[in-house]
Amino acid sequence: MSDAKFFEERSSRMIAACRLALAVTFELSILLDPDQSTRDPVPALILLVGYILFAAEMVRIAWRYWWIEHKLGPVTFMVDGFAFLAAAYFTESADTELASPFLAFFTFLMLTATVRWSWRATLAAAVTLVLGYLAIGLTLDAQGVALNFYHLGQRTVYMAVLSFLLIWFVLRGRRTVTTRILPVVVMQDDVFKGALEAAIDSMNASGGAICWSGEDEPRTQLRTLGSVGEHPKELPPQEFELPERLRPTLFESSTRRVLELTPDRGIESHSDRDAPGLASYLQIEEGISLPLNGETGRGQLVLCGINGMSRDEFDAGVAVMDELTSAIDRDRYDNVKRDAEMMRMRGALARDLHDGVAQSLAGAIYRLETVRSRVDKQQDPRPEIDSIREGLRAEQAHVRSMIEQLRRGERQPGLRDISTDLRSLSESLAHQWQVAVRTAPDMPPIMVPASLAFDIQQILREGVANAVRHGQASRVATELSAAKGGLQMQISDNGTGFPDSSLPVLPRSIAERVAALGGTLAIESRPGDTRLIIELIQA
């Protein structure tokens, strides 16, 4: 066994091994060390032989039976405490300072308490042992044994300081959470498989299973690896449902023995409980079950085949549980964000195609009707065909610009003078639709982000197309002004207006684009005069 592997052994095994080593060492020191004074040597030796046999049996239990070892925890601590006080009684004298094993035994007892119990229980054990040690000193003094009370007080202070130091380390250590799992999980294509792989590796398990049920998902997602075998990736509600109450749990299915971690980090033992949830469904014999309670759903992680499993698994398991829950939540949020971004891009692309390509094609069809009319009248159609060709070329350049933006995943950077862009676009639209499209001649230069300039031009394209196709307008005018940290755009025409001017139907594409920009759209309509009034907040 490598040095690193040796120190990874479970605390229950290390405690049992150290107990046996202390007992044997103390027995040998009494028998072989001439400087080790002993009061009543025969009872001391008999007591120590019994303690050695007890320590050896606890080694066997710790290596094989994690549930029994936990159940015997309070009893073994009481036996260890009695051995500590007995050692002090049999070896304490005025001539001993470091020969007494009090410090080694006390340190062993305090470390055992910090591993097994909460800081409050550790503090209670420390107070009991210190008072017990003082009581031994007073008892010996009452029996007429000469003692060095300076050394007695000194050791009492040592024990108190050591107790508080160990308790502080316990509180500090339990605030520390491992962070090596989360980066591994979030880089996986399948977050559940990645989470399970990271958990198995972190806990040195031979296999495991993870399930997750989202807030709006009727089925439970399931992933299994290693010794658990292969299982379906989705479980219908009628086949499996997560229990409402799940705690971190060590379980042994055949004996129905479990250890549960309580919210205050205590441990409850039960000898009549089935393996929780997923562990019972998959018929896993022994392992640890961890609840996953996230913001986007809840699930369960089960790991099995952990060598030397003991209550130590709770500390590492809780850290793994918290990180996996965070990783799954992050993945679910990212999915929602990606879906929302995809919907936004699809909506923007649909509006761009509708306001640009679709309207340009509609304008080309409209112009082709004019070509047919000229042909029927035996007039030269070439000027009209040339005009249509130029319009299609301009639209081709516009489509290429849209494609380039999609490839880059962003709109054009920088600033543009939207006044100049609108004048140029108005001329193009006038040729395309064969109507008068006028931009206010006194409109001053207005610099806006290139992406906003694109949206404003698309609004004008759609506005002119609607006015001609649906309102039979022959004149369209547009104005743009900057005021109050924003922009106001008006598109007016001399068409027939909306059928019901009291409740006009908002042009869908323009309304969606304005809403996406955080602006407002209002309509004033009567025959011969229709106005679209658009307010935009300039970033």
Ranges of each domain in the chain = 3-173, 182-337, 414-539
At 116, list the tokens: 């097994």
Q: Would you say 403 and 397 are in contact if contact means Cβ atoms under 8 Å apart?
A: no
Q: Is the pTM of this model over 0.85?
A: no
**Rounded Cα gap, residues 314 and 320, in angstroms:** 10
At 96, list the tokens: 């001993």
Which of 240, 319, 323 has the alpha carbon at shortest distance from 281?
240
pLDDT of residue 175: 44
Which overall architecture, per CATH, does domain 414-539 show? 2-Layer Sandwich (3.30)
Which of 449, 445, 453, 477 has the alpha carbon at shortest distance from 463?
477
Residue 247 has pLDDT above 90, yes or no: yes
Share of the chain above pLDDT 90, in %: 20
Which of 368, 312, 307 has the alpha carbon at shortest distance from 116?
312
pLDDT tens-place string over residues 163-222: 777 777 766 555 444 445 544 454 445 788 888 888 898 888 999 999 998 866 667 889
Strands 297-304 and 286-293: antiparallel
461's CB contacts (< 8 A; 6+ apart) are 355, 356, 359, 360, 425, 429
**Rounded Cα gap, residues 289 and 108, in angstroms:** 30
Matching CATH topology for 182-337 and 414-539?
Answer: no
Neighbours of 508 (CB within 10 A): 11
Q: Which of 32-46, 64-78, 227-241, 391-405 has the highest mean pLDDT?
A: 64-78
Which of 108, 105, 111, 79 has the alpha carbon at shortest distance from 92?
105
pLDDT of residue 7: 41
The owner of tokens 């046996």 is 20
pLDDT tens-place string over residues 489-517: 999 999 988 776 555 677 888 888 888 88
Q: Which of 109-118, 263-272, 339-348, 396-405 has the lowest mean pLDDT?
A: 339-348
pLDDT of residue 279: 94
Radius of gyration of the chain (CA): 41
At 354, list the tokens: 């509708």
Residue 538 has pLDDT above 70, yes or no: no
Residue 4 has pLDDT above 50, yes or no: no
Q: Which of 76-85, 90-99, 408-417, 478-487 has the lowest mean pLDDT?
A: 90-99
pLDDT of residue 302: 96
Residue 393 has pLDDT above 90, yes or no: no
Is 87 strand, coil or helix?
Answer: helix
pLDDT tens-place string over residues 402-437: 667 666 655 556 688 889 889 888 888 887 788 899
Rounded to the nearest 5°, which phi and psi values hold at 448?
-135, 160
- Provide CATH code, domain 182-337: 3.30.450.40
CA angle 105, 111, 114 (to 5 degrees): 140
CA angle 522, 477, 396 (to 5 degrees): 100
DSSP of 97-114, one letter per residue? SSSSTHHHHHHHHHHHHH
pLDDT of residue 295: 84
What residues pair up with 439 in beta bridges, in sequence order? 478
pLDDT of residue 270: 92
pLDDT of residue 266: 82
Residue 326 has pLDDT above 80, yes or no: yes
Helices (H), 270-415: 278-281, 313-352, 359-376, 382-408
pLDDT of residue 276: 94
pLDDT tens-place string over residues 274-322: 999 999 999 999 999 999 998 888 999 999 999 888 888 888 888 888 8
Residue 359 has pLDDT above 70, yes or no: no
How is residue 187 annotated by DSSP?
T
